Structures are given as structure tokens and as C-alpha cells.
Amino acid sequence: MGFAPGTRIGPFIIDARIGAGGMGEVYRATDSRLKRQVAIKVLPPLFAADADRLARLHRDAVLLAALIHPPLAAMSGLEDADGVKALVMELVEGIDLAERIASGPIPFDEALLIAKQIAEALEAAHERGIIHRDLKPANIKVRPDGAVKVLDFGLAKLGDDEAASRSQPGAAAVLPTITSPAMLSAVGMVLGTAAYMSPEQARGYPADKRADIWAFGVVVFEMLSGRRLFTGDTISDTLASVLKTEPDWHLLPSTLDTRLRALLRWCLEKDPKRRLRDIGDARVQIDNLLAGRADEDAPHLSAPIAPTWKRVLPWTAAGVLAVAVAAMLVLWAPRRTASAVPPFRLSTRIGADASVVFTPVDALSISPHGDVIAFVAQNAPGAAALLYVRRLTQVQATPLAGTDDAESPFFSADGQWIGYFARGMLKKVAVTGGASVALCEAPIPRGGSWDGNDSIVLLPNRTGGLVRVSAAGGTPEPVTSILLGNEELTHRWPQVLPGGKGVLFTTGSRTANATGYNDGTILAQSPSGARTVVVRGGYHGQYLPTGHVVYIHDGTLFAQPFDLDRLEPDGPAVPVLEGVISNAGTASAQFSISADGTLVYLPGPSIAGPAVPIHWMRQDGKTTPLRATRAAWDNLQFAPAGDRLAMQITDRQSDIWVYDLARDLITPVTADPADDTVPVWTPDGRQLAFASTRGGRKIANLYLQLADGTGGAERLTESPNAQRPSSWHPGGRYLAFEEVVPPGQSDVMILPMGGDVGSGGKPGKPTPFVNSAAHERQPAFSPDGRWLAFVSDQSRRDEVYVRPFPGPGGQSQISASGGMFPTWSRTRHEIFYSSGTATGAGSRQFMVVSYAVVEGSFRAQKPILWSTAPHQTRGPQRMFDLHPDGMRFAVAPLDDAEIARNVDHVSVFFNFFDELRRLAPRSR
């Protein structure tokens, strides 16, 4: 049905069709009586002929006409003339929000102003018991002056209808919703509406005001991302996406305020019982953001939005401290037999003129008694990270001198000591300060746990199981061993279970996909060595006195009821807290829970896994896409001509791939059913050396294959030790590589090729180039072949050094405060390396050192920061390479959780155990 210009409907003269809305066609018309222009929506005959629906619409129209609020397009009447039924509404000039989003993401400040007005419109309607039920960008107009009007309450319904629909079976089916597609005429309109339906609407269940809150979250998400959140080729596909697909939070701007990100998560809870209940709360939070109020002046949105009685707490700095002190006086009272206050949470400043350093390892821990937080922080970018302690009854935190480069703190069982990792060692320091005590070597900080016998369980090196060492220091003894038949990765983030019941830890599989430790396994091992699976699909488990194991999956804290005596699960796992900063690549997580039920955590996003795109990064820190497709790649290396990029990609197994930059085409080089890793181009760009576990071996040796993937792979070495290629001499006669020598240290080795690569000469016998008692690796030849750079921890910290090749001669230290992955420029006398101090979650910065050769001696200048922008790191894997032009890097882009941020707040959840028992009751 359509109406030509000039058609009269009662006193209204049609001027032009301006679109289709819910339940009808919309026209611009002139009111001949009042000489004004209006918008009228002509209802389809099917609707107009239904007496029950028309009566309901008439009743709702009366109420909507009385609903006067600036962001709402006013309804002025329901016209019935010449057999045509039409709604008469305010005519709103401007573009609709769908058109605005189609041109790209909306800037943050503009999006906030629009979101505020949408929230105000919904709030006004909800206060009158009216629910929109069809909120979408096409129903929101933005006038030229920036004012927003929410349109099309034609699908709106009264809250009372919800009660009727619950009490009358099938009542929901007759309501004018998208579940009656005959009501609508355009397929595109149907799909658009379906994309904004709440999960309960998609299932055909009754919808209340929380359905509008869901749609509000979808609309705001799309404003900020410029992308449709839920899509599908058909209505069914779109509804399935709403029901099953989780939002891709990576689509949001990386600089988005964490409070708004948390608000969106709360609006987009699929379970309406866990969703934000009042749109007014969203409007208040947006007001706070627009006003630039600091966290201490407004509720902190990284945690779930609190009920009204909690929101009215005085959120000034003094008020927060007063609440914390009052809570602690009650919660920590001796011989407390019952919870004196209900569970509540607050956000508080860490109390130091510094920022928390949330690297790929843990950054904070709370003491067993819940009265002290230990955390790692730095007071300036590039400064050494120190341990700080903060008593929650005090305002200020105290740095502990002598704890430079600290990582992964944890408390002793009595709360008097803090264990931590620094410069390749496990150390301890008293909570009150003093000298740090080195206990044993531990080059990889993946957590420690103090038991009641004053010993510590930890992961000592990059491979293998857990060990136990006396808290007084000594020789570590094995606790767990890697089960090679299961292809396990390292055992990490241990917790000694109470009562000598055993140890809890996280492991992963070498065949895990790109989600990292989100596919990890949490195991419990008894003192006899027997193991049970506690969790599949999670990491960083912690047993609690409530009889639960809490763990992380995709940034959410889950609780698994657990029988300590049988070391077995005791009921289904449930989510208990969203938005915990965590890293699925290393299985680290920024939370800690005391024995009395106080939870501390850093709120924010999660690094979901190792699958990332590749970007260019220039010195100004700006990045642009190089390869947009996400993959679980590592160990990039440009071909000598700079036209191709070799990498390893892991998907069940690791293989070597080559990406052609000009053609945007990636092709496999290897396909053997083994792990092929760490590609290194030959100087002529024809072949790649790589490490491989071919032949059913668990240990990788060196191979060589044509870069186009043709021909077979030539074996270069045969050794019982694991090897990784690193750099070719520019003449092609030598390959520098690293070899792991038991009990876990690496040496820099040189493999002579018996002639230029490709000449047919047989590889000679590898010889050590650097094989001290230290851990040496990552060798890199200079462009002229006269020097070899490498990394060594001989100073108890990874530093970059240079030696003449083939020697003799002494070495020059290049880095000043730690460094990894030395990289020579081919166009200037410069060496780049990755900084030794982390700047954020899984990120470091590029340093550059100019050098000269004076009378045969290597003279290095002072290291300087090449760019203030951070780059992603992932343990021993090289996540970048310098293009041969010396001007730009290929890097992994950083999401919110990886960018260095000024994290100066911590969230504290008091009486968390009471909340846990409510959300995850045990079966017995």
C-alpha cells in the first residue's frame, strides 16, 4: 500500500514518503487545520482490521501522547479516516542514526552526547511504564543542532502487558513484535529489527524494560565501532547471532574509557537477570563521563553496577576510605562468626604516585588475612618496576626498596613475607621492608605458592614441571612432571592446597588452538602423584575455603564447586565476576582472594588469545594494517628484499608460512605433521631455515627448505637438545642458533655450512660461540658480518651484548636497563631491541642504539627510546621485525588490555565468599 503526494487522510495531506517504520509506512504530511508539518505512520490493513490490537494501540497512544520529553518524538494522535488508520507524530528533521553510523564510528564525545539523550528518552518512558521494544538506529534521529529524538513508539507497550502475557499462555504471540513478520513489509527492515532484539525477545519470551536496555547497549556499541553487532543473511541467522554470539569487544576503540566499556558489558548480558535493570543508572554514568568526574567521584564501572543502596555511598576519596575502614573493622574483627555486612565492592586508588604494571604475569596479591595488598608499579615510563605494599586501613602505599624489576608477588602463609620474581631469580622480602633474599634461579615468573611448611612451589624454567624449594633457599626438588604423551605445556600458576592435600596448577596442550589458555586445563595433584581434572577450558585456578575453585575464562571469573578431600569437581561451574584483566596467552590474571573472603582485582578487558592481525608501526607510534586477517602467528622475519614476510602460524600444529605484501597472499611452506617454527631467511631470499620436531621427535632440530614450499626439507642438525635458528651470516656460510642445554640454559651456537647456502656443501659440526654459565640466546649477525649481537642474563637480567665475529675479542654491552631481541638496521649504524621494562600487559618499547667502529673497536652510544608507543611481546617468541628500509616495524597491534595505561585504581570486593555461596552453591 502506498500513497501519492497530495493524497488526503482526514485533515492530513501527504507530501512525500519518508520511510518505513515498525508496523507501517511513514509519510511527511501537512496538517491542514494547524498549518504544520507532521509525520504520519499508516498502519497496514492486517493491523488496522484487528480490533484487539487496535484497542491496545489506542490505549497506548493516549499514554504516549501525554509523554512529553525533549528526546522523545511526540505523538499527537491516532487518525481514522476513509478506512485508513494512522499514527500522527512530531516530524523530526535530520538524519537517522543508522545513516550516521554507516559513515563510520562516531567520535567518543559525540557518541556520549547521543547516548545520554537516548537514555533520557527511555528513562522518561520507563517511568511511565512504557517500553519501546524496537529501539534501533533507524528509530533515532539526530537533528542538525545535535538534539536527539527517539521515534517509533508504535511497538511500545505498557509494563502491565507483561504481567498479562505471563499469566495468559500465548499472549506474547499476539503482541505487535518482530515475531509477527507479516506486520512488516521490507526484509531489510525485518533483519534490522531482529539485530536489536534482546535474547528474551528472540526466544519469544515476554520482554520488560531490560529489553530496551539491551537494545540501548547494541546501539551505543555500534555508534562507537561503526559496525553491526549481530548479523545474518536471514531472520533466523540474525536471531541465532543474538542468542549465541558474544560481542567482539575488539571492535571498540582501544582508548575507550573502561567505565563505558563495563557499562556496555552490563547492558549486553544475555541473561536479563544479570543485565542492568534501570536505564537511569546508565544515564547517570554517562553524565559522570561527560562531566569528567574522577573515579572517586563516581561509581566505578569496571565492576557490575551496584544496587541503589550501594550507589548512594559517598564516592569522594574520603568517603571511599571511610567505607573501606569501616568495612575492615567489621570484616576483620577477631573471632568473627557471621558476616556483619552484606557483600559490596568499591574502587580505590592504589595509594602511590605510580601505575600498576600488569605485564603478562601477575601484578598484585592480597595477604591471607586480607589486610595488605602487594602490587608491582612504576613511577614513570621506562622506570624499574618496584614492589609496593598498601594496608587497606591506610591511604598511602609504600615502595619496598631493592625490589627492582619485581614480578608476580605472592604472600607467605603467615602474611609476613612476600615472594616475587626478579632478574631471573625467586626472591623474598619482608612486608615491613628490608633486604631481599634470593632463594633460587627462576628465569620465568609464572607464579609461586607458599605452603604451611615454609617452602615454595614454583615453575623454575621455561620447560618442565613444578618444583619445591625451601623458603630459606636451597636446591629445588621436583613436584610435578610434564606428561609428554599428553603433549602438555609447562605447569604454571600453582597453589598448594590446604591440609597437605596436594597442589593445584594450570597446564595447556601443544595442540591447543588460537585461544591460548582459554582452552587450558586446571589439574589437582595429590601427594601420591595422582591427578584429577578440575576444569577444562580455563586457567589460573585458586582454591577457596568455601569449597570452590575460581578460575578465568575469557576475562570472566568462574567458580567451580570442589571437593577437597576427593580432589574432584562438586557441581557445575558458574560465572561470578566479569571484566578481570587477564592474559590467555600466558594464563596470568589480575586477581587475588584472601582467606577471609576479600577479593582484589584490576578491572578491565582480557587478551583473548594469540590470534592477532599484523600492523605497521612507525616512529611516531601510529599503526596501519599490514595484514588484517587474524592468526596465531609468531617469529616474524622479513625477506632481504622486504617484499615477503615469513612467520610461524599455530593451529593445532605450527607451520611456516610466507606472506606476499604486494599481493596480500599468504602461502604455506611446510605441512609436515610436526611443529615447524622460527623461520629465518637465507641471505639470497630463496630458502628458510627453521626448527622442527619431524620424525616423531619431541625436541626440535634445524631444517632448511625452499621458501616457495617446493622440494623436501633438508635436515641441518641432529641433537638431543632443542634448537632454534636465529640469524644467517650475510655470506651464507654460517647459521647462528640457540641450543637449550640441560638443565634449561641456552648457548649461542654457530653452524658452518661448508660453502655458500645452496652450493651443495654439507653442514659442518656446530660449535659454541657463547657458552658461559649464563642463559644466552637470540643471536643476530650485523649486516657486514663482523659482529654478533645476542642476549645474556649474566647480570641476572636479560641484556643485549655484541661480540666480534668470528673473534677473538671482548664484548660490549648495548642495553642499559634490560633488553631482548637485538635487531640490526640495514641502512644505518643502529641496533634496535625490545626494552627490558614492561610498559603494560604484554607490551614493551623499542630502544635504539647508534654505534661506530673505531680502529676495529665497537663503540656503542647511549640507548634512547625509538618510540613512546608500546609493542606486544609474548614470552620467548619474537612478535615483530624491522623492515629492511629501517624505518618501520611489523608488529602485533595492542588492544585495551595490552596498551600501557595509567592503572592507579584497584577494585576491592568485601565479603566475596557470601556472594560466591549465593551464586555457586555446592551440591553437598
What pLDDT score does 762 carry?
79
What pLDDT score does 342 carry?
58
From 31, 96, 134, 362, active-site residue: 134
CB-neighbour burial class of residue 611 (10 A; exposed 0-12, middle 13-18, buried 19+): middle
What pLDDT score does 173 carry?
25
Question: Has 353 been annotated as catalytic?
Answer: no
- Residue 911 DSSP symbol: T
Q: List, for the chain, all residue ranges whose pLDDT scores fall below the cut of 70.
A: 1, 20-24, 34, 45-78, 82, 152-192, 236, 293-342, 359, 380-383, 461-464, 484-487, 489, 509-515, 607-610, 652, 743-744, 755-761, 836-843, 875, 895-902, 923-924
Report the DSSP pairing between strands 606-607 and 521-525.
Answer: unpaired
Per-residue pLDDT of 276-331, as tens digits, reads 989 999 999 998 888 876 544 444 443 343 333 333 333 334 334 434 444 443 33
Reduce the secondary structure of 70-123 to three states and give it as a string.
CCECCEEEEEEECCEEEEEEECCCCEEHHHHHHCCCCCHHHHHHHHHHHHHHHH
Chain centre distance of CA 890: 21
What pLDDT score does 57 carry?
58
Residues ≥6 apart with Cβ < 8 Å to 752:
733, 734, 763, 764, 765, 767
The three-class DSSP label of residue 531 is: strand
Kindly state the helix (H) or strand (E) to which residue 374 belongs, with its residue range: strand 372-378
Residues ≥6 apart with Cβ < 8 Å to 267:
213, 214, 216, 217, 220, 275, 276, 282
Q: How far apart are CA 902 and CA 352, in angstroms?
A: 12
Instruction: Give the position of cell 630458502.
Output: 687
With contact defined as beta carbons under 8 Å apart, do 899 and 583 qualify? no
Single-letter code of the amino acid located at 281: D
Entry field: residues in the chain: 924
Q: How far apart are CA 759 and CA 755, in angstroms?
A: 6
CB-neighbour burial class of residue 572 (10 A; exposed 0-12, middle 13-18, buried 19+): exposed
With contact defined as beta carbons under 8 Å apart, do 867 and 845 qualify? yes
Question: Mind giving me the DSSP string for 679-748?
Answer: EEE-TTSSEEEEEE-TTT-SS-EEEEEETTS-SPPEE----SS-EEEEEE-TTSSEEEEEEEETTTEEEE
What pLDDT score does 554 carry?
87
Report the DSSP pairing between strands 799-804 and 787-792.
Answer: antiparallel
What is the number of other CB atoms lying within 10 angstroms of the CB of residue 710?
8
What pLDDT score does 381 carry?
59
- Angle (CA) 704-706-708 rounded to 5° is 145
Q: Which of 813, 810, 869, 861 is nearest to 839 (CA)?
A: 869
